[in-house]
Amino acid sequence: MVLKKSAAAVLFAGLLATVSHVAMAAESVNFVSWGGSTQDAQKQAWADPFSKASGITVVQDGPTDYGKLKAMVESGNVQWDVVDVEADFALRAAAEGLLEPLDFSVIQRDKIDPRFVSDHGVGSFYFSFVLGYNEGKLGSGKPQDWSALFDTKTYPGKRALYKWPSPGVLELALLADGVTADKLYPLDLDRAFKKLDTIKKDIVWWGGGAQSQQLLASGEASIGQFWNGRIYALQQDGAPVGVSWKQNLVMADILVIPKGSKNKAAAMKFLAHASSAKGQADFSNLTAYAPVNVDSVARLDSVLAPNLPTAYAKDQITLDFAYWAKNGQDIATRWNEWLVK
C-alpha cells in the first residue's frame, strides 16, 4: 500500500511538471509594429533572443493601427500585447485610459532617458528628423539648417516633407522663420502655415521611409526633411546624398501595453528585454536609430556611432510630445484643411 501511494505521488508530481512545462511553452506575446526593416530589426534584436532566453513565443503582427487598438480595448477583446506607437499617441492613449501602467519592478526605469519613458510607456527607439539633400542636384551648396528649405534661389528644386500632421514640419517652419528652440511651444500655427505657404507649390510629400528615400536619391526632391536612419541607409548604398544635423528634431517611438492585454506579465518581461542596454544597442546597430537606454551608447558600433542622433546631442531639439498629445487632433484638422487649399 505504501508503495502504491508513493508511485501515485510520483506520477502526480510528474503530471504537474508536464502541465507546468506545457503552460510555460504556451506563453506568448503578440507584438505589433510598423512592418518593414524596422520590425525585422526588432524581431532580430529583441524577439528572437527574448524567446530563446525565456521560452515565451513572440508573435509578430501589424501594422500599428491606433483605431484598431482603441476598438480592441473598448470592446474588451484585446488581441495585442505590446504595440510600437508614436510618442504623442502614447501619452494621449494613456490619458484616455487605453493602456496598462508599466511594472517598473520588472522594467529598469532609471536606465531609460527620461525623455522616453512614462508611467504607461517605455521607449522603443528615438530618431531625428534631419535636413537631407541630393549633392548632385545642389552641387557645391551645402545647406546648414532648416532655413535652406525656404531658400529656393540658393537651393532650387522640390522639397520633400513628411505629410502627416505630427511633430516636425510645423516646428521646422518656425525655426526657419527665426523662432528660437526655447520659444517653439505653444506653436504659433498662423506663423508656421504662413511660412509653409511660401514653398507650398515646391513641396512633394512623403508618407513612409522608402518613399522619402526614393524622392531624394532620384533627385525628384533636391532637399528635405528625413528620418536620419533613411539617410544613413542611402549613404551606405552609395547614393549622392548629404546631411546636416543642425537643429535635428528628436522624435521617438514608444512601446505600450493595451489595457486588457491577455499576456500582461509576459509583455512586461518583453519590454524589460527590449529596453535593456543590450537590446537597445543591438537594435541601434541594425538600424542607425538611437537607443533610449543610457547604458547602450558604450555598446554601439564604432563605425555607426557618428551617424546616430546620440552623436549630435548639442544640436538637438526634442519635440514636445506632451503638447502634441493634447493639441494634435485640433492641429490635424487645420493641417488637412490647409493641404487642400
What CATH number does the domain containing 91 carry? 3.40.190.10
Same domain, 267 and 245: no
User: Got the DSSP string for 197-264?
Assistant: HTTGGGEEEE-SHHHHHHHHHHTSEEEEEEEHHHHHHHHHTT--EEEEEEEEEEEEEEEE-BTT-TTH
Same domain, 191 and 53: no
Q: What pLDDT, on a 0 to 100 scale, did the predictor assign at position 1?
A: 46
Any domain includes 321: no
Q: What pLDDT, on a 0 to 100 scale, did the predictor assign at position 16?
A: 47
pTM value is 0.85
Give 10-residue mean pLDDT values along the chain (341 residues). Answer: 47 46 67 91 98 98 96 98 96 97 98 98 97 92 94 97 95 98 98 98 93 95 95 92 97 98 98 98 95 97 93 96 96 96 88
The last residue of one of the domains, among 249, 270, 285, is 249
Any domain includes 8: no
Q: What pLDDT, on a 0 to 100 scale, did the predictor assign at position 78?
A: 98
* Number of structural domains the chain divides into: 2
| Residue position matching grid coordinates 551648396 | 141
For residue 144, the enclosing domain spans 128-249
Same domain, 133 and 237: yes
Q: For residues 279 and 41, is the Cβ–Cβ distance under 8 A?
A: no
Q: What pLDDT, on a 0 to 100 scale, did the predictor assign at position 140?
A: 77
The last residue of one of the domains, among 232, 249, 266, is 249
Same domain, 194 and 83: no
Same domain, 83 and 143: no
Same domain, 86 and 231: no
